[in-house]
Amino acid sequence: MTLHYRICLEDGTEVLSTFGGNPATLALGAGELAPGLERCLAGTQPGGSYAFELEAPQAFGDRREDLVQTVPRSSFPADMALEEGAVVEFASTEGARHAAVVRSVHDHEVQMDFNHPLAGRRLRFEVEVLAVV
């Protein structure tokens, strides 16, 4: 599927957009788009424009406090600059990549937020479908 899409917060703040640039080409079911956003695309037709209002659970999920974790500072390279708001990527033991946002940095520990940055947010998802392959 080839499309332009825009993700906006409830207040209209644009978070991500392909409009005005190159369209995205996605393989539905391949995990390239959040499952809730992908479900919106079912049944859309080439040439159509669509807008979806999504509550947090249907978009990127609710925020989960258990995904905010304290990690020993020694778990990071000594020369790694850790700043509040920075995104840090981790590899799981299975080789999957995960990202977390640094919430706070202390001498011996770092508080990390493994929630998706849009978790807990109501979103508007706008789509212009260019082609379905």
pLDDT tens digits, one per residue of 84-119: 999 988 777 787 788 899 999 998 999 999 999 899
Pairwise CA distance, residues 9 & 50, whole Å: 16
Report the SS3 class of residue 66.
Answer: helix
Tell me if 78 sits within 8 A of 110, measured CB to CB: no
What class is the 65-113 domain? mainly beta
**What is the predicted pLDDT for the residue at 118?**
92
**What is the predicted pLDDT for the residue at 30?**
82
Domains 2-61+118-131 and 65-113 share a fold: no
What the block records as the tokens of 44 is 């859309």
Q: Give the DSSP H or E segment for 68.
A: strand 68-72
What the block records as the tokens of 38 is 């992908």
What class is the 2-61+118-131 domain? alpha beta
Say if residue 127's pLDDT is above 80: yes
Tell me if 2 sits within 8 A of 131, measured CB to CB: yes
Confidence of residue 78 (pLDDT cuts 50, 70, 90): confident
Residue 109 amino acid letter? E
Q: Hey, where are the domains in the chain?
A: 2-61+118-131, 65-113
Say if residue 64's pLDDT is above 90: yes
- State the pTM of this model: 0.78
- Tens of pLDDT along 42-60? 889 999 999 999 999 999 9
